[in-house]
A and B are shown apart, each in its own frame.
Chain A
Amino acid sequence: MLLNISNLHVSVEGHEIIKGLDLEVGAGEVHAVMGPNGSGKSTLALTLAGRDNCAISAGSISYLDQDLTGLTPEERATAGIFLGFQYPVEIPGVNNVYLLKAALNARRKNLGEPEMDAIEFLRLIKEKAKLMQMDQSFLNRAVNEGFSGGEKKRNEIFQMAVLEPTLAILDETDSGLDIDAMKVVANGVNSQRNGERAFLLITHYQRLLDYIEPDFVHVLVDGRIVRSGDKTLAHDLEAHGYDGLLAAAANS
């Protein structure tokens, strides 16, 4: 199993947000995690990436048969965990490509590969930028500085495409995107699907799943997964809303 989360409890600033969550993700699988606002979706994503204010009070997370909880964010990243941020941060004066090159070489070092030379790197990012329909000038701007909401999200998927992670967690990558941008993002994700790479798509709406077909859908309510199923669950959810599920969760 690529990722195995068992009875996870996570608190942020003293408030328990995740209250006993179990989830298994196998290699090559696409899992969608859906849920209403405040149900703990982003906390789950940040906890997996190692954000220090997400305090684990109980439970375990294993990734590639290794305990993930003792690793720093950079150790997790170089081990192949990628987080596409819900709100990508701006870093003035730091070139987009420069950050990406440092990131890629950190990953390669972990895999025991030599640093990529400049020409090869340039070829790679040009190819990936084309896939994401990104303008070249976009690459040489400072990280996310002055980017529109849609450009920031596209930049996240572009980075993912370059870094080729083992587990990609995309936190509400679809939010704030118009339909054309969403198609580009979905296309980027679909092109990265193969038998090995796993995805955890965190989303509020079902519409992203029209373009990226998940293998599994989970519904997260109040810090717990209350329903799991195949892609038809997302359609049920669209038809009946979270309220029905909330009621079901309250009764259980």
Chain B
Amino acid sequence: MSSNQQDLKTLVERPYEHGFVTDIEADTLPPGLDENVIRQISQKKNEPQFLLDWRLKAYRHWLTMTEPKWAKLHHKRIDYQQISYYSAPKQDKDAPKSLDEVDPKLLETYEKLGIPLHERAKLAGVAVDAVFDSVSVATTFKDKLAEAGVIFSSFSEAAQTHPELIKEYLGSVVPYRDNFFATLNSAVFTDGSFVYIPKGVRCPMELSTYFRINEAKTGQFERTLIIAEEGSYVSYLEGCTAPQRDENQLHAAVVELIAQGDAEIKYSTIQNWYPGDEEGRGGIYNFVTKRGDCRGANSKISWTQVEAGSAITWKYPSCILRGDNSVGEFYSVAVTNNRQQADTGTKMIHIGRNTRSTIISKGIAAGRAQNSYRGLVKMYPTAENARNYSQCDSLLMGDKSAAHTFPYMEIKNPTAVVEHEATTSKIGDDQLFYCRQRGLSEEDAINMIVNGFCKDVFRELPMEFAVEAQALMNVSLEGAVG
């Protein structure tokens, strides 16, 4: 392989593709956090009083909390007073009513990221909500969705137009006291997406949100709430990118999903925040709380995630299987290269009878990266005949990376069945040589082997995004074997 060392070196040093900064005038709050900052955020968004009250309750509770230390992650202390909690591109007083009124620089940013907000969006047939720093800049296809009775808007807008829904559901899955980062989010969240699917409606198109961090020294704290009424269906995808900077930036999001009886929510994530450079300088600290509540009987929530970016990933998308016969699924690919660290997994909380859950986790560690799977399967005494199947596979590249698996199980019902399988393997020289002997380049061989390893997860992604996920995987691991 020595003949390829130079090539590999060039590839490793290839910059992060989405690392550019959009030069746009921004309305940014100075760094620091106190009640006054929270009041200003709430005021800027013209929120109803109950939301401000909720934020302040969360903030006061947050002051009593300390950062969790149990994850297998090491990072610099986060100074919460050095972060700006609000940044928005300056715009004319009235919010843009259509894409034509959106600042062209913003549209250009999303074009560069390969997220078409204009005509191409129509061809792709995917509705997009674009969140730039602390605000949503555009949501496409709103009218068409409205015909089906589907509400898809930014969270801030929903707070204006559907306060009753926000009041009823916000914090009903992830309470404001839940954990340090979720509580912080509850206090300072700025924007995110809101989805409501009425009873019996199958959402006519894929919904997606693209999150972009642009401003320096800001954090992004988005809040997403998806409600699927009885017998409805929705498939939702989020994507994330950020500029390349030497400093670490904090991203602490909360996602809440509610599936009523016979409803199904499919939630997919392609996370590609800036991961830092090969020495571990810079990169996003990604502390995210995602939880779905299968409230009704026969409901289903499926999480699929491809976690490729971020310096630190701390994330456990979970399902509370409350309704009888409800189903929870978690399909995950977490890839870490260079000095990236990921501690990710899921929690499947079985409460109802005949509830079923499936966990498929694929961790890939290259360079000096650390990759941990951490998962909890909990069977309540009420979970008669509940079933869980977990499979956690790790793939190591090179000899300086590490993979860890932390499965937790709490079984309180004797009829419950829990299965767990785990493997760790290395991309072998034998596999690489075999592919190369058949004529594939070393890079192509690695991509093929890694994509084969991730196949069980990729096939859960909506078609349009499976290709994107594969391409992302290839870029993330370029030059990982040397």
Residues of chain A whose beta carbon lies under 8 Å from any beta carbon of chain B: 49-53, 72-74, 76-78, 82-83, 85, 88-89, 91-95, 98-100, 102-103, 106-107, 110, 142, 159, 163
Instruction: Give the distance to chain B from A232, nearest Cβ to Cβ, in Å.
Output: 33
The answer to whether A89 and B431 touch across the interface, beta carbons within 8 angstroms, is: yes
Known: A51-B433, A52-B1, A52-B2. A92 touches B453 (CB 8 A): yes
Give the nearest-CB partner of A77 in chain B. B439
**B residues 126-166 in Cβ contact with A at 8 Å:** none
A-B contacts counted at CB < 8 A amount to 79
A72-B436 Cα distance, complex, nearest whole Å: 8
The answer to whether B433 and A99 touch across the interface, beta carbons within 8 angstroms, is: no
Cβ of B441 under 8 Å from chain A = yes
Among A52, A72, A91, A107, the one with the most B-chain Cβ atoms within 10 Å of its Cβ is A91
Q: What are 13 A-B pairs with beta-carbon distances under 8 A?
A: A51-B433, A52-B433, A72-B3, A72-B442, A74-B437, A76-B437, A82-B437, A83-B437, A89-B431, A91-B448, A93-B452, A95-B452, A99-B448
The answer to whether A91 and B436 touch across the interface, beta carbons within 8 angstroms, is: no
Residues of chain B whose beta carbon lies under 8 Å from any beta carbon of chain A: 1-4, 428-431, 433-442, 444, 448-449, 451-456
Give the nearest-CB partner of A95 in chain B. B452
A72-B3 Cα distance, complex, nearest whole Å: 8
Known: A73-B433, A159-B438. A89 touches B428 (CB 8 A): yes
A77-B451 Cα distance, complex, nearest whole Å: 23
Among A50, A77, A92, A107, the one with the most B-chain Cβ atoms within 10 Å of its Cβ is A92
A109-B436 Cα distance, complex, nearest whole Å: 15
Closest 5 CB pairs of A and B: A93-B452, A106-B439, A94-B452, A103-B438, A77-B439
A203-B372 Cα distance, complex, nearest whole Å: 46
The answer to whether B452 and A91 touch across the interface, beta carbons within 8 angstroms, is: yes
Give the nearest-CB partner of A82 in chain B. B437
Instruction: Give the distance to chain A from B11, nearest Cβ to Cβ, in Å.
Output: 16
The answer to whether B431 and A91 touch across the interface, beta carbons within 8 angstroms, is: yes
A82-B439 Cα distance, complex, nearest whole Å: 9
A43-B357 Cα distance, complex, nearest whole Å: 49
A85-B434 Cα distance, complex, nearest whole Å: 8
A88-B453 Cα distance, complex, nearest whole Å: 18
- Which residues of chain B have C-beta atoms less than 8 A from A76's C-beta? 437
A109-B454 Cα distance, complex, nearest whole Å: 28
A73-B440 Cα distance, complex, nearest whole Å: 9
- Which residues of chain A have C-beta atoms less than 8 A from B449's C-beta? 91, 94
The answer to whether B452 and A92 touch across the interface, beta carbons within 8 angstroms, is: yes
Give the nearest-CB partner of A103 in chain B. B438
A55-B467 Cα distance, complex, nearest whole Å: 40
- Which residues of chain A have C-beta atoms less than 8 A from B431's C-beta? 89, 91
- Which residues of chain B have C-beta atoms less than 8 A from A74's C-beta? 436-437, 439-442
Among B1, B433, B441, B453, the one with the most A-chain Cβ atoms within 10 Å of its Cβ is B433
- Which residues of chain A have C-beta atoms less than 8 A from B435's C-beta? 91, 99
Instruction: Give the distance to chain A from B280, nearest Cβ to Cβ, in Å.
Output: 30
Give the nearest-CB partner of A49 in chain B. B437
- Which residues of chain B have C-beta atoms less than 8 A from A82's C-beta? 437
Known: A88-B434, A89-B428. A103 touches B439 (CB 8 A): yes
Picked from B1, B438, B454, B456, the residue with its CB within 8 Å of the CB of A99 is: B438
Known: A74-B441, A93-B453. A102 touches B436 (CB 8 A): no
A85-B435 Cα distance, complex, nearest whole Å: 12
A107-B438 Cα distance, complex, nearest whole Å: 9
